[in-house]
Each structure stands twice: as structure tokens, then as C-alpha cells.
Amino acid sequence: MESKTREITGPIDLEATLETAQTFCWRRTGDEPLEYTTVVDGEGLRVRETDAGVRFETTGLPRQWVESLLGLDDPLDEIHRKLEHDQRAAEAIDRYGGMRVVSDPFFRCLASFIISANNNVDRIYRSVQELSRRIGTEVEGYGHGFPAPDDVVEAGEERLRNIGLGYRAPYVVESARMIAEDEFDAERVQELPYEEAHEEIQRLHGVGPKVGDCVLLFSLNYTEAVPIDTWMQRAIEDHYPELVGSNYEETAENFRRRFGGYAGYAQNYLFHLVRVEEEAAKPYPEI
DNA sequence: AGCCAGGTAAGTC
DNA sequence: GACTTACATGGC
């Protein structure tokens, strides 16, 4: 079946958006032009960067869903205006202005960030891709989608351990079970104000304050959520010492007060900035 | 060999 | 509540 390509206009930096540990379910399938492929809800999606925005082809995803997945439905100009008063945020916007904040499907986002705990980005990618390849369903020409909660429950803890999730395997299975058995409803969480949603999301196994903030920011559209991992903690200590609180919640709240309702975007820019700087500062590996 | 990686759960006090 | 520790796995 031939699917026609359609276009969405609006500035977007696909590499900065899809390869900076917001989402782990896209594969880069082309370099010039940049092209990424994923499967969502049983439908294939391929996206290419253009001068004006992106061109995409899909087996059946609505256009609006594609926009949402890539974060193209957030008012980027307004967000930039609200963050530019800050020197480092302005610098990051200048360099990575087309970086969006994604709205990933709930369960794959949740599972990815449960797996992210005390882990590194490369291995998170590998684990998520392996989960898809081994348990997820393939869409011809687009690869495998991330498995649904009941597929993960059926696969079970041992299978997930064999895939390499280690001690996080039972967390992923238990959270999947809660969702599959309607003990947890993401859509209902989404109706709550941020503070309540942040408490609620932590009912899931393997979800603490940081992973919870990632899911709220990268899936449930809470642009004020500020995930503080080891990188962000260091960045805040180095560049915003006055915002350091005595615990996670306090630091996050200070950061939120400083940057406002789009604090999550500020977090994302700073996270990317410090990681790029760290990469650049790495000594040339000795032989 | 030992430390670190987008932390959390379970156990103490 | 605040503080400590174990935790799978792989790269360096």
C-alpha cells in the first residue's frame, strides 16, 4: 500500500528532538535529509526534515497525532520569549532553537524511563529497541512497535531479564499490570493539576519523583515538570546555586518558580547544553 | 578493579 | 520524614 507524504511547517530540529533522551522509540533511518522512523499504536510513521519543517508518511496516523508526537503543537515562539531572559537558556535557544519537547505515547515513555533509572542513555536505547524487536509487533517497512502493557505482562519478568533489563524487569512488568488491569489510568492523571499528577504517577512501580517528572513532561504534556537527574543536579549546582534546595521537590519547585509554566522546556535546553559541553570536554581517548 | 550511568524500593532510625 | 543500601548490566 502506497502512502502519500504530507508536510507540517514549523521550525524543528529533528536530531535534537529525537536523539536527546526524551524518547527512545525512534530509529534514524536516513542522514541527508535526516529521517526517523517509529511505530505508534500499530501504525508506521516516517519523518524527514525539510527547510520548512517536516515531511511525513504514515500507514494511518492522523496528522494531529504526528504533530503532537514531535512537539510541534507547542507555541515555540512564545516559549522562547518566556525563557530568553535567562542567559544560559538564551544561549541554548540560540544553538538548539528547533529542539522540541515530545509527547510520547504513555506506556512506552513510562517503560523507557523506568528502565532509565541508574542507567546510561546508550543502554536505555538498546533495551527499549530490544523490547520492541522481541515482544512488539512489526509493521511492514517500519520496524517493530513498542509492546502494549498486556504484551509485557504476558512476556513476564524472566523474559524481560533475558532481554537485559536487569533488576528493573519486575518494575516494568508490575507497572504494565497496573495499567492492563485498570488500576492506573493515565488519562485521568492528565486531568489533575501538576502537583497531584506528580504524586499520582508515583503509584506506579519503579516511578519516583524524577522518572515521574519525565513521564509528565515527555508524555502527559506537563510543560512545568522539571526532571532533575544527575546531570541537571550538577548543572543547577554549577550555574544556578541559588536554586539548590534541600531535596528533589524543593530544587524542582525553585527551578519552576524561576522559569514558570515552561520550566520543562528550560530543563530540556539546559540538559542538552550541559551534555553537549561534557561531550566536547571529553579527552581524546588514549590507545 | 572499581566507578558511573536521565534513581528507586526497602530497610532503618 | 530524612538517611542508607542494594540493585543488573555494560562501558571505560
Both A113 and A202 in a single domain? yes
* Neighbour count for residue A187 (Cβ, 10 Å): 8
- Write the CATH number for A148: 1.10.340.30
Both A207 and A230 in a single domain? no
User: Which residue's CA shows the smallest distance to C1' of C10?
Assistant: A123
Both A150 and A17 in a single domain? no
Both A173 and A134 in a single domain? yes
How much is the pLDDT for A279? Answer: 75
Angstrom distance, A191 CA to C5 C1': 37
Residues near chain B strand, CB within 7 A: A 20-22, 116-121, 123-124, 171, 202, 204-212, 214, 227-232, 267-268, 271
pLDDT digit string, tens, across residues A197-212: 999 999 999 999 999 9
Both A199 and A62 in a single domain? no
Per the structure, the complete domain to which residue A257 belongs is given by 75-99+223-287
Angstrom distance, A160 CA to B8 C1': 18
Is the CB of residue A122 inside 7 Å of nucleic acid strand C?
yes
A187: which residues sit within 8 A by CB, 6+ positions away? Answer: none
- Say whether pTM exceeds 0.95: yes
Among A99, A97, A92, A94, smallest CA distance to A21 is for A99
A284: pLDDT confidence band, cut at 50, 70 and 90? low
Average pLDDT of the segment spanning A265-274: 96
How far are the Cα atoms of A50, A113, A168, A195 from residue A173, in angstroms, in the given order?
A: 39, 13, 9, 26
pLDDT digit string, tens, across residues A161-201: 999 999 999 999 999 999 999 999 999 999 999 999 999 99
Is the CB of residue A123 inside 7 Å of nucleic acid strand C?
yes
Distance separating alpha carbons of residues A276 and A271, to the nearest angstrom: 9
For residue A231, which amino acid is it?
A: W
Angstrom distance, A167 CA to B1 C1': 23
Chain C nucleotides reached by a protein CB under 7 Å: 2-3, 7-12
How much is the pLDDT for A168? Answer: 98
Both A210 and A262 in a single domain? no
Both A66 and A143 in a single domain? no
Both A139 and A176 in a single domain? yes
Average pLDDT of the segment spanning A256-263: 98
Measuring from the CA of residue A21 to each C1' atom, give the nucleotide at the shortest distance. Answer: B6
Contact A7, A50 (CB under 8 A): yes
Both A30 and A70 in a single domain? yes
Phi, psi at A279, each rounded to 5°? -60, -45
Angstrom distance, A50 CA to B11 C1': 54
What is the DSSP code string of chain A? Answer: -----EEEES---HHHHHSSSS----EEEEETTEEEEEEETTEEEEEEE-SSEEEEEESS--HHHHHHHTTTTS-HHHHHHHHTTSHHHHHHHHHHTT-------HHHHHHHHHHTTT--HHHHHHHHHHHHHHHSPEETTTEEPPPPHHHHHHHHHHHHHHHT-GGGHHHHHHHHHHHHTTS--HHHHTTS-HHHHHHHHTTSTT--HHHHHHHHHHTS--TT-----HHHHHHHHHH-GGG--SSHHHHHHHHHHHHGGGHHHHHHHHHHHHHHHHHHHSPPPP-
Measuring from the CA of residue A117 to each C1' atom, give the nucleotide at the shortest distance. Answer: B7
pLDDT digit string, tens, across residues A11-51: 999 999 999 999 999 999 999 999 999 999 999 999 999 99
Both A82 and A35 in a single domain? no
Which of A218, A252, A279 is a domain's end point?
A: A218
Angstrom distance, A83 CA to B10 C1': 40
Count of domains in chain A?
3
Which of A218, A249, A273 is a domain's end point?
A: A218
Angstrom distance, A203 CA to B13 C1': 25
How much is the pLDDT for A287? Answer: 43
Chain B nucleotides reached by a protein CB under 7 Å: 4-9
pLDDT digit string, tens, across residues A99-122: 999 999 999 999 999 999 999 999
Both A149 and A239 in a single domain? no
Measuring from the CA of residue A169 to each C1' atom, give the nucleotide at the shortest distance. Answer: C8
Is the CB of residue A119 inside 7 Å of nucleic acid strand C?
yes
Average pLDDT of the segment spanning A48-58: 97
Contact A224, A265 (CB under 8 A): no
Both A227 and A246 in a single domain? yes
